[in-house]
Amino acid sequence: MNTHTLRAATERPEAPALGGMTDLRSAQADPVAARADPGRQRRALILCGGGARGAMEVGFYQAITELGLSFDLVVGSSVGALNGALIAAGFSPAELAGLWRGIRRRDLIAWSGRALLSGGFYSFDPLRRLLEKTLPVRRFEELERPLVITTTNLRTGHVHYWDRGDLLAPLIASMSLPGAFPPVWIGGEPHVDGGVASNVPFEPAFDRGITEMMLALCTCCPPAAHPPHSPFGVLLRSFLISLDSKYACDLNHYRRQGIVMRVARPEFLLDVGLLDFQYADALIRAGHEQSLKALPCFAG
């Protein structure tokens, strides 16, 4: 992908309130007051990073739909931003599963000599073309559900939450793993994978008055059959371990704040790399079946 400066997506025009409830498209409303309303439970779907393992989130989406678990807000980071954008745009579980089952690595990324000059090895140009054909909207305000996407500002090191303006640039930036993909420049700032700073993005949901959060953790790092030997393998596994540790701390923090957490941790026996999309069907089925076992008591 070109790393020239893309149009800034930081404009925040007023959006209409959603059915008389707190406007979850914005963090401007008082979240404490929103949570204090005993007559309204506000539920968010939290979608984390995990590369090809993000297919398990599709199975989770199928499960919560079958169980009648509605949600008012979608928050996504990394591959969760991709799933979140499609869900917020109105994709049904069957439509999202069909897309995932048809995805191959060449549909998303391409080796790019140009990217080498800009901080990466690969380009997301194929993904951009796929999104331009698949996504029915181009701006956050046009989505059917409120959506927040996370990116990491590579200059400041801070997480950035996007909920207004251009959709494609933050979406692609949120999936741009540093080193593998060049940063995406938005408003003169370099942005990379949202998972670097906030892989399981609880904070923007909390800031919008959410009282319950639902998620399938697809980045869990179980004991490996064999330790990695390549430099990249060691680096990646160390990164995943750090993500798991931060997730556990954040989960406990928001539980102490009184947030109800509905968490499924689907397991998959095979080691799945970030780009191993050939396992999509099996991952979707694992996410669906194991979430149905974990979540039925939460229906309603």
**Alpha carbons 216 and 198: distance in angstroms, whole number:** 15
| Cβ atoms within 10 Å, residue 174 | 32
Phi and psi torsions of 153, nearest 5°: -75, 115
Tokens matching residue 226: 């064999």
Q: Please give the angle made by the CA atoms of 285, 289 and 295, to the nearest 5 degrees.
A: 135
CA 21 to each of CA 31, 104, 141, 230: distance values in angstroms, whole numbers, following the listed order: 12, 40, 17, 51
The H or E element containing residue 43 is: strand 43-47
Greatest C-alpha distance within the chain: 56
Tokens encoding 73: 């807000």
Cα angle, residue 237 at apex, residues 249 and 80 outer, rounded to 5°: 65
Residue 25's closest CA among 8, 44, 48?
A: 44
pLDDT digits (tens), the chain, 300 positions: 333 333 333 333 333 233 333 456 655 556 666 666 655 689 999 999 999 999 999 999 999 999 999 999 999 999 999 999 999 999 999 999 999 999 999 999 888 777 666 777 888 999 999 999 999 999 999 999 999 999 999 999 999 999 999 999 999 999 999 988 999 999 999 999 999 999 999 999 999 999 999 999 886 676 777 888 888 788 888 888 888 889 999 999 999 999 999 999 998 878 888 889 999 999 999 999 999 999 876 554
Task: Write out the H or E segment, with its range, that includes residue 288.
Answer: helix 280-294
> Which residues are CB-contacts of 129 (< 8 A; sequence separation ≥ 6)?
none
Helices (H), 142-279: 168-174, 195-198, 203-207, 231-256
Q: 184 is written with which tokens?
A: 């995406």
